[in-house]
Structure 1
Amino acid sequence: MKTKYIDLIEQTFDFPQKEFNLDENNKLQFHGIDLSKLIAQYGTPLKFTYLPKISENINNAKKWFANAMQKHNYEGNYNYCYCTKSSHFKHVLNEALQNDIHIETSSAFDIDIVENLKAQGKITDDTFVISNGFKRDQYVKNIGRLINNGHNNCIPIIDNYEEISLLSQEIKGNYNIGIRIASEEEPKFEFYTSRLGIGYKNIVPFYNREIKDNPKVTLKMLHFFINTGIRDTAYYWNELLKCMKVYVNLKKVCPSLNSLNIGGGFPIKNSLAFDYDYEYMIDEIILQIKQTCEEAEVPVPNIFTEFGSFTVGESGGAIYEVLYQKQQNDREKWNMINSSFITTMPDTWAINKRFIMLPITGWQKEYERVLLGGLTCDSDDYYNSEQHMNAIYLPRYSKEKPLYIGFFNTGAYQETIGGFGGLQHCLIPQPKHILINRDADGNIVTELFSQQQTSENLLSLLGYDYTINNKLDNANEEVNLETTIN
């Protein structure tokens, strides 16, 4: 009877897979990285970012779009934009920008990051900066400053009727804009229409009223995005077709319009059973856009995408140790990890998101069904099922041999949602974070990005004078020393 954990995985999935395999000691490797060696060197809890995966995904998407455009004789260009809100970290932007890409921003401070990168030569005036989001005050001023300083490829995407007048007050010369479509959401949503953008039926009238005769503003782009992302569903294709109807109608009255931004939304691998045909979806999108334009007798647009999670999500991971197992009743075993799900992977708590979860060690042990619990005293700090099944199975726990588990493809949003370097729920410290790269010979190299938070960090944020604690510690040491001497 096959009862080992390795048997369970091999019976359930195709394994090993491209990024996951076992070494000669039956320990998990991720993209050829010896995770046990990382644990030995850095300890746990540990977060990591595998930088080469960012470039790999960018270049895959660029290749798929190039192939589809060549296949269908598509005459427009393709521009890959990185959606910075997925992860603003310098190491992420530095890796992504090595691949001739562009940037999509969401808020005022994003523009400060763009200017910083531009000063370092990471971004040039040829880099498109697509400025999305609801714009007020500082965001408008920062966009204006960027354009006034010569970055004419900054394209603010108009989200509401007032933004053109606000931008025109800040921008000295002429400038280009886009308009975002307020897409209609899936029936399961609690609302019918996105809060972002301008309604389908209002866009052409808005152009005729506010833009057509405005000598300062040139409309270049129509922006389309839906919350469910790019998926092979009747809903997605219907929304894309509605978007294209707006595009061709707008193009007939606006000759300057030459670009369609289809936003982001490519899914990332969240299960060993993940199956998504990226090439088919891109091929079909390009075909649908071309056919619609040919039927309307208008030129095809340049295509922009804004991939965030797809860019950075699959580069990230987290490793924890199972500290203890609690048998709470006759059926439920709780494996307690040495961190918190709420603070280190908030998507699991906030939107019930699931990531790939695999043990690093123990693959030759028998498996058991467990629940995973975090260290906070919050009843919601747990992880109880996988994307592909309604339970969690792990190698059997024993006190004698540590059990380490990894969560993979966690690189998007977790730090910005959970808060990096700030207060954490129940004051659970933020884990150590390392960067993983490869040298010119393909060897793995690691770099410590941030240490685990200390009590001094947290007390300072809370307004306490942690020097008092240092004085108390010193006093206790003196008392202990005196007691020892006596």
Structure 2
Amino acid sequence: MKTKYIDLIDQTFDFPQEEFTLKDNTLNFHGIDLMELIQKYGAPLKFTYLPKISDNINRAKGWFADAIKQNNYKGSYNYCYCTKSSHFKHVLDEALKNDIHIETSSAFDIDIVENLKAQGKITDDTFVISNGFKRDQYIQNIARLINNGHKNCIPIIDNYEEINLLSEAIDGNYTIGIRIASEEEPKFEFYTSRLGIGYKNIVPFYNNEIKDNSKVTLKMLHFFINTGIRDTAYYWNELSKCMSVYVALKKENPSLDSLNIGGGFPIKNSLAFEYDYAYMIDEIIRQIKQTCDEAGVDVPNIFTEFGSFTVGESGGAIYEVLYQKKQNDREKWNMINSSFITTMPDTWAINKRFVMLPISGWDKEYERVLLGGLTCDSDDYYNSEQHMNAIYLPKFSQEKPLYIGFFNTGAYQETIGGFGGLQHCLIPTPKHILIDRDEDGNLITSVFANQQTSEQLLSILGYNYDINNAFAKAKTSLPEVSEAMKRSY
């Protein structure tokens, strides 16, 4: 009778897979011995496997190059990284090794761009696509970047007032794009995205505000679907409507030469994940070309803004199961040594699922469990695996530690979780490890950030100020009390 965890996985999925393999009944991820990583750095633990960032960028570039060639497409392709997915320096440094461009979404993003320019990581030839609702500081920062010579900064107009605000701040001529306010799927609580300008209003907006404005050149139309690039009637219908706007706008404005189709490539969230990236890209290119050919206009250069696709599959989190609580006759709670709310907030906020696998114990019998976090919050749990509404893990034993890993967590989790700041119930941010390879393929690991300390959290909360004042007062009258206070903290 096949009752071991490895038997369950073999019966349910094709395994091993490209990134997941077994060695001595323990899990390897892209050839990384995760148990060795745990033995060296402990758990809980977060890690970023940097080579996966470059790998995904070059996969996408290859798919677009093939589609452009197969369809005899005359436009170029430009890969932009959506920085809000992960602003960390190690992520940008790795991504920018691959001749890409950048998409920004807020004022401080521009400070990062200027920092990267000062280091020689990007140049004036790098496109900086500036999305988002722009006011005050963001406008000033974009203007500063353009005024200092970065003419390839393209602010994407999100509302009717931004052109006037930008024109007041920018010294000379500048280039812009316009974002289409796409219509959302019927299941959404609203009909139209809050971002951008409505389909039917774009051409009139161009004629009224841009056409006779000698300072502004319209270069790009921006199109993004909130639910991502998926093979659905909804997506293809929205792309068709976008192309109708592009054609109409192109005929009014010959300087329009670029279409930004945004981001939205899904990433692997299950061992059963299937998505035909090459087909989707080929079909997008084919439909764009067909529409332009039928209308007698030149095809646009294509821009994308992949964020999660770029960095998501590089990240992972490892936890130790501390204890198993049996709450009734059938519910077993495996309690991890961290929190889902704080370390993987998307699991709590939007019920997002990641690939979850045990690191050890693949040769043990399996059992159905629930996973609970350390916070005293009823929502701090994870109870649904990718293939069924349950989690199955090797049987817990108090004598031998059980470690579990969540994979492809590299996008958004640190920033949404408030990296380096306060965490729910003051559960500290785990240690974060960077993993790279040298020219010979050997692994290189380093500590990016240690686990948060109580002193760091208390400092954010203002207690250090109070403690220091208390120490100062105590020293003037009761030295022995001062020493006791120090020890207590």
Question: Normalized against structure 1, the TM-score is what?
Answer: 0.97
SS at match of 1:306: strand
SS of the residue corresponding to residue 330 of structure 1 reads coil
Return the letter of the residue paired with 2:308. Answer: S
Looking at structure 1, the residues matched to 321 and 302 of structure 2 have their Cα atoms a distance apart, in angstroms, of: 47
Q: Deviations over 1:215-239 (max 9, x none)?
A: 0000000000010000000000000
Shift of 1:386: 1.4
Q: 2:307, 2:43 → 1: CA distance?
A: 27
Which residue is 1:20 aligned to? 20
Q: Once the 2 structures are TM-superposed, how far is the Cα of residue 474 of structure 1 from its aligned partner?
A: 5.5
Match of 2:259 in 1: 260
Amino acid at match of 2:220: M
Report the AA paired with residue 344 of structure 2: M
Superimposed CA distance per residue, residues 380-435 of structure 1 (whole angstroms, 9 cap, x where no aligned partner): 00000012211000000000000000000000000010101000000001100000
2:20 alignment partner AA: F
**1:166-181 paired onto structure 2 within 5 Å:** 166-181=165-180
Q: Which residue of 1 aligns with 2:86?
A: 87
Distance of 1:127 and 1:472 partners within structure 2: 61
Instruction: Report the residue type matching 2:454 in the other structure.
Output: S
Equivalence map 1:204-215=2 (5 Å): 204-215=203-214
1:5 lines up with 2:5 in the alignment:
yes
Question: Cα offset for 1:269?
Answer: 0.2
Alpha-carbon offset, residue 177 of structure 1: 0.1
Q: Distance in 2 between matches of 1:476 and 1:463?
A: 17
Task: Give 1:91's aligned amino acid.
Answer: H
Q: Report the Cα distance in structure 2 between the residues aligned to 1:149 and 1:30, rounded to whole angstroms.
A: 44
Residue aligning to 2:116:
117
How far, CA to CA, are the matches of 1:279 and 1:111 in structure 2?
A: 33
Structure 1 residue matching 2:176: 3-state secondary structure:
strand
Distance 1:457 1:477 in 2: 16
* Partner Cα distance (1:472, 1:176) in 2: 66
Task: Report the AA paired with residue 80 of structure 1.
Answer: Y
The answer as to 2:242 corresponding to 1:236 is no
Q: Which residue of the partner structure matches residue 426 of structure 1?
A: 425
Report the equivalent of 1:51: 50
Equivalence map 1:70-469=2 (5 Å): 70-465=69-464
Q: CA deviation at 1:475?
A: 3.6
Tell me the secondary structure at the aligned position of residue 269 of structure 2. Answer: coil
Matches of 2:481 and 2:401, distance apart in 1: 35
Cα deviation for residue 477 of structure 1 reads 9.9
Deviations 1:151-182 (A, max 9, x none): 00000000000000000000000000000000
C-alpha displacement of 1:214: 0.2
- Per the alignment, residue 36 of structure 1 pairs with 35
Distance 1:401 1:295 in 2: 67
Q: 1:472 deviation in Å? A: 7.7
Instruction: Please say if residues 175 and 218 of structure 2, whose CA atoms lie closer than 8 Å, have aligned partners that are also in contact.
Output: yes
Quote the Cα distance in structure 2 between the aligned partners of 1:402 and 1:420.
27
Q: Deviations over 1:339-361 (max 9, x none)?
A: 00000000000000000000000
Residue matched to 1:483: none
TM-aligned CA deviation for residue 478 of structure 1: 9.0
Equivalent residue number for residue 482 of structure 1: none
| Paired amino acid for 1:440 | E
Point out 4+ residue stretches in structure 1 off by more than 3 angstroms.
Answer: 466-479
Cα distance 1:172–1:329, how it changes in 2: closer, same or farther (>3 A)? same
Deviations 1:362-393 (A, max 9, x none): 00000000000000000000000012211000
Q: Distance in 2 between matches of 1:122 and 1:473?
A: 51
Q: Structure 2 vs 1, CA of residues 478 and 15 (structure 1 numbering), >3 Å: closer, same or farther? A: closer
Percent of aligned pairs with the same amino acid: 83
What is the alpha-carbon root mean square deviation over aligned residues? 1.5
- Name the CA distance, whole Å, in 1 between partners of 2:257 and 2:177: 10
**Count of matched residue positions in the alignment of Structure 1 and Structure 2:** 478
Q: Deviations over 1:413-465 (max 9, x none)?
A: 00010101000000001100000000111011101000000000000000002
Change in 2 beyond 3 A, CA 1:128/1:476: closer
SS at match of 2:463: coil
Whole-Å separation in 2 of the counterparts to 1:381 and 1:10: 30
Any stretches of 5+ residues in structure 2 without a counterpart?
A: 473-479
- Conservation of the 8 A alpha-carbon contact between 2:471 and 2:485: no
Distance (Å, rounded) in 2 between the aligned partners of 1:401 and 1:430:
25
Q: Secondary structure at the match of 1:437?
A: strand
How many Å separate the matches in 2 of 1:276 and 1:399? 40
Where 1:222 maps in the other structure, the secondary structure is: strand
Structure 1 Cα separation of the partners of residues 487 and 237 of structure 2: 75
Q: Distance in 2 between matches of 1:475 and 1:368?
A: 49
